[in-house]
Structure 1
Amino acid sequence: MPTLRYGDLPDQVVDLILPEAADAPLACLIHGGFWRAAYDRTHLAPLATALTAHGYAVANVEYRRVGAGGGWPTTFDDVASALDAIGPALASEHPGRVDPAATVYVGHSAGGHLALWAAHRSPTPRGVVALAPVADLVETSRLDLSRGAVRELLGGSPEDVPERYAAADPMGLGPTTARTVLVHGDLDDLVPPDFSRRYCARTGARLVALAGVEHFGVVEPGSTAWPAVLAAIDWAAEPDG
């Protein structure tokens, strides 16, 4: 498995997995863990393997998290730098293997937040799939989810650092220009499903609500949620029209 280094620090790496076929669509995976260093990209390794078997090239992104040099703005800087580096690296080292126009950001939980945030940057991906995403940072702070995780990430509450919430909160940033779909299980007790419902109502993004599915079911190949997750990713990778 080739590894791309987009910086000099240990967490500034991306695992690349390529299928046998040429011109594969590209799924850039962004893991969750409430932005904390205790959780890393290995959590999404089974998802990466399953997507490669389905014909995707996969870039599994690591980034600095709170407790290991992350927070504001370094977590965001790392995700942006990683996503910017993937396309040129693949074109240089693996020409013809990936279709860069068919790039989809796939993020889970806090990674879903980062995927939605990153889709507001240029270049815009073709699609974004946010799985059980932390799509409302202001409400995440108010509810004190994961013992103040978002305040650790941004360095304070919405009242303390309103400009950071304005720059980082998908709910406030509004719709992306990418094909955007949120997938959320109704048994999620870590990230409220209402976050996804309200985000989609606000932005017009597609919502896939899954009955009987908890927080991690959406990233487990072979789970009852997996066919819907795979269909969402395929939809996001399709060209418009």
Structure 2
Amino acid sequence: MKCLFSVLLLCLFFSLHPLRAQTPAPKLITWQDLTQLPTPATGTRIAYGPDSLQFGELRVPSGKGPFPVVVVIHGGCWLNQFNYQYMNHLSAALTQQGYATWNIEFRRVGDVGGGYPGTFLDVARAVDYVRDLARNYPVSGKEVMVMGHSAGGHLALWAAGRKEVPKTSPLYTKNPLKVKGVVSLAGIPDLATYSTQKGSCNTAVEKLLGGSPTAVPERYAAATPSSRLTLKVPVRMVQGARDPIVPVSQALNFVQQAAGQKNKAKVVLLPDAGHFDLVAPTSPVWPTIVETVQEMLKKLKR
């Protein structure tokens, strides 16, 4: 009888205090998942230079405008094995939110003229071309932000801070377009450190710059985004905590380098996100990406 009573007490206890089930971590979005998303409507393909890879795809919302512009810079380890098309889903989704998007292509490592300095000069030229777009389309040449993913996050940060590049540098461009802010999605601001870390893009750094940090230190200095950028324009380093390609330390260290009252940079750490969740409109973290763009351009969601 005592045994039966004990069993009943145990049953009552577990009915009132059920064992807390271990919730499995959400499945991360992969590169393959991105490639299987429905193809979005294409934008208008526009050349910003004479080379066949110097073009962008412009998407403009319906309505009168002028619309604020998000310059979209794709990743892919700076290599020509990857192109701008995987960022079309993000671009189309942002355009539905009321933003014009300029998803750019450029010469990469493996392309004639790609690498240092061509990749950087192409990105600079494409960003500055927004001025020309504003003369021919209902988009703003003043309400502009840059957004890049992975290696494109590095290029977005670099492009926004080009005013710091000296005239003697091969990366110098005159009168760079002033942007309202930068959103780096799993970006790689510290090239020298990243080249020695674990991840899938590490060996590509030396291919991009033509050598190691000790062999061509002046190239690393010119191609690495300056932390002084964070004192001049808002920067959001959006990073997935479960990213296997870019360490969280890349975002944290970049923001901390310019720590202080005038620092306009923040880390947006997403605990259950990986590398590609940040660019997939089907991802649970997508609303955070949209909110970050809205913060930069001060535009309410439609």
Q: TM-score, normalised by structure 2?
A: 0.75
Q: Does 1:7 align with 2:49?
A: yes
For residue 75 of structure 1, what is the aligned residue in structure 2? 119
Instruction: Name the amino acid aligned to 2:115.
Output: G
For residue 237 of structure 1, what is the aligned residue in structure 2? 297
Q: 1:154 aligns with which of 201, 209, 220?
A: 209
For residue 18 of structure 1, what is the aligned residue in structure 2? 60
Q: How does 1:119-138 map to 2 (within 5 A)?
A: 119-121=160-162, 122-138=176-192
Q: How does 1:52-91 map to 2 (within 5 A)?
A: 52-69=95-112, 70-88=114-132, 90-91=133-134
What displacement does 1:232 show?
0.9
What displacement does 1:86 show?
2.2
Q: 1:176 and 1:67 mapped to 2: Cα distance?
A: 35
Q: TM-score, normalised by structure 1?
A: 0.93
What displacement does 1:176 show?
5.5
Q: Which contiguous aligned blocks of 4+ residues in structure 1 show a shift greater than 4 angstroms?
A: 171-174
Q: Which digits, 9 at most, give the CA deviation of each residue in 1:112-135, with x for residues without a partner?
A: 000000011232201110000011
Q: 2:292 and 2:245 mapped to 1: Cα distance?
A: 22
For residue 211 of structure 1, what is the aligned residue in structure 2? 271
Structure 2 residue runs of 5 or longer lacking an equivalent are 1-42, 163-175
What displacement does 1:151 show?
0.3
Residues 136 and 195, structure 1, Cα contact 8 Å, conserved in 2: yes
Q: 2:241 aligns with which of 167, 171, 186?
A: 186
Q: Which digits, 9 at most, give the CA deviation of each residue in 1:191-233, with x for residues without a partner?
A: 1111001111113311100011000000000211101111111
Residues 167 and 173, structure 1, Cα contact 8 Å, conserved in 2: no
Percent identity over the alignment is 39
For residue 171 of structure 2, what is the aligned residue in structure 1? none
Q: 2:229 and 2:145 mapped to 1: Cα distance?
A: 18
Matched residues, number = 236
Q: 2:161 and 2:72 mapped to 1: Cα distance?
A: 16
Q: 1:176 and 1:93 mapped to 2: Cα distance?
A: 33
More moved, 201-210 vs 173-182: 173-182
Q: 1:92 and 1:27 mapped to 2: Cα distance?
A: 16
Q: Which digits, 9 at most, give the CA deviation of each residue in 1:167-209, with x for residues without a partner?
A: 1112566536222111000000001111001111113311100
Distance change >3 Å, CA 238–CA 77, structure 1 → 2? same
Structure 1 residue runs of 5 or longer lacking an equivalent are none
Superposition CA RMSD, Å: 1.6
Distance change >3 Å, CA 134–CA 147, structure 1 → 2? closer
Q: What secondary structure is seen at the aligned counterpart in 2 of 1:170?
A: coil
Q: 2:230 aligns with which of 175, 180, 184?
A: 175
